[in-house]
Amino acid sequence: MSDHVDGPRSIGDPAADITDLFAFTSPESPARTVLTMDVFPSAGEDAMFSNIIDYAIAVRRVSVAGVGNAAKFQPEADEIRFSCRFETLKRDTAGKAIQYGVCKLPDGRELSLTVNDEKGTSTPEGDVRVFAGLRSDPFYLAWDIAILKKLPNLLQHTNVLCIVVELDTHRVLDPAKGSLFGAIAETVPPQKRGLLGPAISRIDWIGRPEQTNMRLNNPAMSEIDDLRDLWNQQAPFAISKALQPLFLQRLKDSIATWDMLDGRADWTPEAIAATANVFLDDFLLFDVAKPINDESHLEIEKSTLSGRPYQTGGGRSIDANSIDILLSWLVNNDREFLQGGATGATKLGMKVFPYFATPNTELQTVTESVELAAAPDDVWSLIGQFGGAWHPLTARINLTGAGIGQLRTMLTLDGQQTVERLEAIDDEKRFLRYTHIAGMAVSHYTGTLEVKPKGSGSVVDWRAQFLAANATDRAMKVKVSTLFKTGLESLKPRFGAAK
């Protein structure tokens, strides 16, 4: 998923897990360029930036050093770096939790940040403006890419933490010296030697989308070693020469696999080798002297590999369909555009700063029911007890307190523990309502269980509303739905299914 959850190490530290990198011309002003890194896949509403991680976007001027099968993009040694660091949470004057940070600019100036302040912070000179905060995830994936099966957007309603750097193109990048650039983003932990060995040089980094999850760890390839953590430890713009043959061979094998996924060969061995060489030098290419739009993503690479001058500014805009653009190239060499099961992210980007859409806050709903042959009171006598262990996935239940406000701590057979609180119960109406306290990746969770008469029997309705937190809506809906269905289906042998 672009760069979401791209290896064991980043999965274990979501605040340092980079999801995406963007480079585009500001919709507000053609004289300004926007660089953005997103982190924290499926961020919950309370997600915050790590206080021990440097979040950095680095840009280097690039020249075209070869075309056709000798295509090569050569970065310069000088680097234009924006590095943000954040503090622990504090309380504002109203007692609300708030996070502050500092963004260090390439010339050493520092900008103070208040997380989630939509106005962002600008330098006194107005040449740089920075925003940091929670936004709707602009990435969308609508494929089971291993088999090219179309799906709905797998990241619908998810959020990310976003760092937006908007800059005066001429004052900061000085395109008169060359207008083609390569950008990377990285998350760097403290460089102190640990008790168990040397310091980790970085947790995650990204150049072009999908280097790790689709090219190095191609899901269509079976029985391959996961190279993603090894790749993420490489220095951007300077991949280890000793490891280059390993990565290069994987890239070749991966492109060859993608080529045959539709059963038709569209790539020559020479073209595969040349493209793999370009991907090995992994940075997001953008040219500030040419137009960057939703269709220009990867055009610089494609044109240069084809031996012709590129026509656009490449880069990656917020609404660029990066997955379908990439799949169409890898699978059939752009013979046919492959459109997935969605045509856009949950929300489109905005035309005004900070450009990325506001966070998703819509409660998601799961509803399941079962019709039974037994009378409603008989069914309620079993499932209407808040502490009842009638659910087949329950290993143990502990109750704390009594009546409204009672807590139940449930341990399931797979070792998961959840804590829920009783908010309302009506035995006459055979209804109860509860909220989730801890244990699942959700917030604002409210569940209801109700038994109503239907014909000569009854119907049981189980319903929940929630926001997913640190998990996708799709994953949480499947988890909650499975829990409900399993419980409701277990009632049929006890009370008989309605006929």
Dist. CA 188–CA 49, nearest whole Å: 13
pLDDT at 1: 60
CA 14 to chain centre: 10
CATH dotted code for 364-495: 3.30.530.20
pLDDT at 193: 56
Dist. CA 383–CA 491, nearest whole Å: 9
Q: What is the pLDDT along the chain (499 residues), one digit of tens a residue?
A: 688 999 888 888 899 999 999 999 999 999 999 999 999 999 999 999 999 999 999 999 999 999 999 999 999 999 999 999 999 999 888 888 999 999 999 999 999 999 999 999 999 999 999 999 999 999 999 999 999 999 999 999 999 999 999 999 999 999 999 999 999 999 999 876 555 566 778 899 999 999 999 999 999 998 999 999 999 999 999 999 999 999 999 999 999 999 999 999 999 999 999 999 999 999 999 999 999 999 999 999 999 999 999 999 999 999 999 999 999 999 999 999 999 999 999 999 999 999 999 999 999 999 999 999 999 999 999 999 898 789 999 999 999 999 999 999 999 999 999 999 999 999 999 999 999 999 999 999 999 999 999 999 999 999 999 999 888 888 999 999 999 999 999 999 999 998 8
pLDDT at 96: 86
pLDDT at 237: 97
C-alpha distances in Å from residue 190, one per residue of 71, 111, 175, 186 = 37, 21, 33, 13
Supply the angle between the helices 269-280 and 244-259 in degrees, to the nearest 10.
130
Dist. CA 314–CA 45, nearest whole Å: 33
Query: Where are the domains positioned within the chain?
Result: 8-332, 364-495
pLDDT at 8: 82
Dist. CA 14–CA 50, nearest whole Å: 9
pLDDT at 359: 97
Residue type, 253: D
Residues paired with residue 219 on neighbouring β-strands, in sequence order: none
Tokens of 83: 């590095």
pLDDT at 194: 56
Whether the Cβ atoms of residue 207 and residue 184 lie closer than 8 Å to each other: yes
Tokens of 451: 């038994």
